[in-house]
Structure 1
Amino acid sequence: MGRYVLRRLLQLIPVFVGTTFLIYFLVWAVPGDPFTGMCGERPCPPQFVAAMTDKYNLDDNVVVQYLKYMGTLLTGDFGQTYAEQPIGDMIANAAPVSVRLAVIAVIIEAVIGVTAGILTGLRGRGFLDNLVLVSTLFLIAIPTFVTGFVIQIVLGFQLEILTPTVSTEAKWSELIIPGFVLGSLSMAYVSRLTRASISENRRADFMRTALAKGQPKSRIVGVHLLRNSAIPVITFLGTDIGNLMGGAIVTEGIFGIHGIGKLIFDGINDKQGAIVTGVVVLLVLVFLLVNLIIDLMYAVLDPRIRYD
């Protein structure tokens, strides 16, 4: 196990370098003047543009820029915006909010999606199975921003059950509804994936062997069926954490949440490539570490998997 973990950690290095360079190249390849609007309605003086270009290494080619950026990033410095605001502080303020939102979304999609998938997978075709299939198809067909606006209008403005927007503190209780909106699409996929996995494993040889041995039904379902059916679901939930953090732009915009999504959106609008790059680098690290943890969990769920 130790050698496998070490090998995987070493494999993360070229993946991290390749993905971050590609992201850096794409961000800085976007056309446009990054200093537009910094001097008001008038164009910035050439002396100011030259000074800012030299300060942020914009006159170097993209490879040199990337190497200089990674050199400062490895020291824990995410750089500064063109207004000299520390990007590390901006990420530190926004990341906890997005993490709380993503955690709530994953819990909701895991609890509701897995429960619905287990019930329909065990019972087979019937009213409950048809209800879940229709409901999940409904959630998949409707865009997230429509779901968010409908819930905000109905529960926030008409019924006044909740506040339409989230406060600057972004407490756990305030993020439940936005978390449901964010995780609604993935919840539908988790439900269908769990149902399909359980329905397939119900007819597997190990299930017939367990039944032939006369084991209790609770042990057959809880130990044999669910553990063998959990691997694809765990894989989806793990990889979805990074997607929820980076893909929360619409949800955060609807409910006025100041998180990673809003930070990316503002960085794109203001042509602040350093902000976008810094946030995406953080998301790449989350993806890589979560994937490593998921791989290690496979051996816990399935005894046949060994990392020797």
Structure 2
Amino acid sequence: MGRYVLRRLLQFVPVFIGTTFLIYALVWAVPGDPFAGKCGDRQCPTEFVAQMTEKYGLDRPLVVQYVGYLGRLFSGDFGTTFNGNSIGQQIANSYPITVRLALIALLIQTGIGITAGVVTGLRRKGFLDSLVLVSTLFLISLPVFVTGSVLQIVLGVDLGIINPTVSPQASLGELIVPGFVIGSISMAYVTRLTRTSVAENKGADFVRTAIAKGQPTRRVVGVHLLRNSAIPVITFLGTDLGSLMGGAIVTEGVFNINGIGGLIFRNIAEKEGFMVTTIVTLLVLVYLAMSLIVDLMYAVLDPRIRYD
């Protein structure tokens, strides 16, 4: 196991360098003047543009810029925006909110999705199975901003159960409904993946053997059946957590959440390339870490899988 982890970590090095360099190149290849609007309504003086270009190293070759950027990043210096604001401070203010939102969404889609998938996988072609299939298809077909707007109007405006917008503190209670919205589509996929996997494995030899040994139904389902049916679900949830950590721009916009999604959107509009590159680089690290964790969980869930 140790050799496998070390080999995977070594494989992450070229992947990280390749993806971050591509991101860096694409961000700075976007047409437009990054200093437009930095001087108010009037156009920035040529001397100011030249000074800022030299200060941020934008006059250097792209590879030199990228190497310098990585060096500063790994030394803990996230740099500043063109307006002089600390990139690290803005990320530190926004990322905890997105982390809470992502974890709430993950808990909702895991708890509801797996439970519904197991129940319908064990009892297929019944009324409950049909109801769940129709409901998940409805959630998949419905755009996220529609789900968010409907819940915001019904629960927030009409019934007054929640606040229509989330406060700057973004407490856990305020993030439950946005978490459901951001995780609704993934919850539908988790339900369908679990249902299909459970239905395929419930007639497997190891399940029949466990039943023949007289083991309780709860143990057969919870230990033998669910464990071996969870691999595709874990794969999906692992990659989906990386997406959730990126923040949902639409959902955060509907509920006025000051998370990473809104931060990315604002800085793309303002052409703050260093901010966008830093956030996406952090997301690359999250994706790489989650892919390793998911692979290691395979061996925990299925004893037939060994990384020797």
Once the two structures are TM-superposed, the CA of residue 208 in structure 1 deviates from its matched residue by: 2.5
Write the distance in 1 (CA, Å) between the matches of 2:160 and 2:218. Answer: 43
Aligned pairs for 1:23-38 within 5 A: 23-38=23-38
SS at match of 1:38: coil
C-alpha displacement at 1:224, in angstroms? Answer: 1.2
Please name the residue that 1:234 is paired with: 234
Cα distance between partner residues in 2 of 1:176 and 1:26: 35
**1:194-273 correspondence runs (5 A):** 194-273=194-273
- 1:51-109 CA distance string (max 9 Å, x none): 00001111122211111110100101111100111101111111100000000000000
Could you give the per-residue CA deviations for residues 130-184 of structure 1, whole angstroms, max 9, x where no partner exists? Answer: 0000000000000000100111011111111110000010111110000000000
Query: Partners in 1 of 2:238 and 2:298 — Cα distance?
Result: 12
Structure 2 counterpart of 1:180? 180
**CA distance in 2 between partners of 1:221 and 1:245 (Å):** 31
Deviation for aligned residue 1:247: 4.4
Aligned equivalents of 1:181, 1:174: Cα separation in 2: 12
Counterpart in the other structure of 1:11 = 11
1:178-208 deviation line (CA, Å, top 9, x unaligned): 0000000000000000000000111222223
Counterpart position of 2:47: 47
Alpha-carbon offset, residue 217 of structure 1: 2.1
> CA deviation digits over 1:246-280, x for unaligned, max 9?
24111111101101001100110100011111100
Two-structure CA RMSD over aligned residues (Å) = 1.0
List 4+ stretches of structure 1 deviating above 4 A: none
Letter in 2 for 1:214: G
Per the alignment, residue 84 of structure 2 pairs with 84
TM-score by length of 2: 0.98
- Separation (CA, whole Å) in 2 of partners of 1:35 and 1:90: 20
In 2: Cα distance, 1:215 partner to 1:116 partner: 23
Query: Which residue of the partner structure matches residue 22 of structure 1?
Result: 22
User: Which residue does 1:158 correspond to in 2?
Assistant: 158
Matches within 5 A, 1:48-197: 48-197=48-197
CA distance in 2, matches of 1:12, 1:269: 31
Which digits, 9 at most, give the CA deviation of each residue in 1:211-266, with x for residues without a partner? Answer: 33333322221221110001111111111111112241111111011010011001
Residue 173 of structure 1: SS of its match in structure 2? coil
**Contact residue 201 and residue 225 of structure 2 kept, 8 A:** yes
Q: Aligned letter for 2:119?
A: L
Identity %: 69
Q: Secondary structure at the match of 1:174?
A: coil
CA distance in 1, matches of 2:243, 2:74: 24
Counterpart-to-counterpart distance in 1, 2:136 and 2:104? 19
